[in-house]
């Protein structure tokens, strides 16, 4: 829910910033930016705590192999650090060029600076996520964008509080260009969820390979997949076209609303 609220608030903020930069619909632009920045800041903080914190503890308790892959932790460590930047090398079971904050991962997951965190190598090969690289990058894109959201909404709120936001064009550009980022963060989050649960359908009990139906052929599955993908692609394109059209057209003026009301009223009489 917080991700949906965050996406909506950033879209509203971006649209309002566009109006202010274009010097069109200024009253609506100020309302959109004000409401979007305030709600966006609240939603961004909730994503970090308590929502993100609770989700992280749940993963540590019930999906420890997923946690290890997300963090690029190959060897079990006591007082494990959190990775800011690094590239997983699954062939050699290591993280290349890492920038690590010591002991933070142990504290965030188990509330103890020296807690032991299991690495990927502690799990049998058939119990590890299949795509460790993609899982690692998806998770870090999600977390990195979440940190970015807090930073820009916090700065925008500070400028709003000091009554400088509407005149600070570079900040309005940042807010407008950040509009698609929550969509990317949500998608990366779903990648993290689905890649992280592999190779399980029911974690620790049933492998994905055991969950396939014996009554369906691969052709049936491919046909259904293509059908759903095509349908969602069409809906997505229609959504983008309609949203861009309405955004560029802008809110209806009071005169247009009054005229439409007068045209409809005789029909309903």
| Tens-digit pLDDT profile for residues 185-225 | 999 999 999 999 989 888 888 888 888 777 888 888 899 99
137, 174: one domain:
yes
163, 198: one domain:
yes
Cα separation, 148 vs 151, in Å, equals: 5
30, 158: one domain:
yes
236, 195: one domain:
no
135, 217: one domain:
no
User: What pLDDT score was predicted for residue 126?
Assistant: 87
In a domain, 269, yes or no: no
Instruction: Examine the pLDDT at 259 and tell me if it is beyond 80.
Output: no
In the block, residue with structure tokens 């909404």 = 153
User: What pLDDT score was predicted for residue 262?
Assistant: 62
Mean pLDDT of 14-37: 94
In a domain, 263, yes or no: no
Cα separation, 104 vs 81, in Å, equals: 5
* SS3 assignment, position 94: strand
Beta strands in the chain (DSSP E): 77-78, 82-89, 94-101, 116-117, 200-202, 206-207
The pair of structure tokens assigned to 101 is: 């904050």
User: What pLDDT score was predicted for residue 34?
Assistant: 96
6, 24: one domain:
yes
In a domain, 267, yes or no: no
Neighbours of 238 (CB within 10 A): 10
216, 205: one domain:
no
Q: Each residue of 186-210: b (16+ CB within 10 Å) or e?
A: bebbebbbebbbbbbeeeeeeeeee
In a domain, 140, yes or no: yes
User: What pLDDT score was predicted for residue 257?
Assistant: 60
In a domain, 119, yes or no: yes
258 falls in which pLDDT band (50, 70, 90)?
low
Q: How many domains does the chain have?
A: 2
Is 192 within 8 Å of 135 (Cβ atoms)?
yes
7, 122: one domain:
yes
Q: Could you list the residue range(s) of the whole structural domain that residue 135 is in?
A: 2-211
């Amino acid at each position: 829910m917080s991700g949906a609220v965050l996406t909506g608030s950033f879209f509203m903020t971006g649209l309002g910033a566009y109006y202010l930069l274009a010097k069109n619909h200024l009253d609506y632009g100020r309302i959109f930016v004000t409401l979007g920045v305030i709600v966006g800041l609240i939603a961004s903080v909730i994503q970090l705590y308590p929502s993100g914190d609770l989700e992280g503890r749940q993963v540590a308790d019930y999906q420890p192999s997923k946690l290890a892959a997300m963090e690029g932790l190959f060897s079990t460590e006591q007082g494990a650090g959190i990775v800011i930047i690094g590239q997983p090398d699954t062939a050699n079971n290591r993280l290349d060029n890492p920038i690590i904050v010591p002991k933070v991962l142990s504290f965030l997951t188990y509330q103890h600076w020296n807690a032991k965190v299991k690495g990927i190598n502690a799990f049998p090969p058939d119990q590890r996520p299949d795509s460790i690289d993609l899982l690692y990058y998806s998770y870090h894109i999600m977390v990195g964008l979440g940190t970015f959201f807090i930073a820009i909404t916090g700065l925008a709120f500070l400028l709003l509080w000091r009554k400088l936001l509407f005149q600070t064009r570079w900040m309005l550009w940042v807010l407008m260009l950040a509009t698609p980022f929550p969509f990317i963060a949500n998608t990366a989050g779903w990648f993290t969820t689905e890649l992280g649960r592999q190779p399980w359908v029911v974690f620790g009990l049933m492998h994905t390979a055991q969950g396939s139906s014996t009554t369906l052929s691969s052709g049936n599955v491919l046909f259904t997949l293509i059908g759903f993908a095509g349908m969602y692609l069409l809906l997505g394109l229609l959504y983008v076209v309609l949203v861009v059209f309405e955004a560029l057209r802008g809110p209806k003026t009071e005169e247009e609303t009054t005229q439409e009301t007068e045209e409809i009223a005789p029909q309903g009489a």
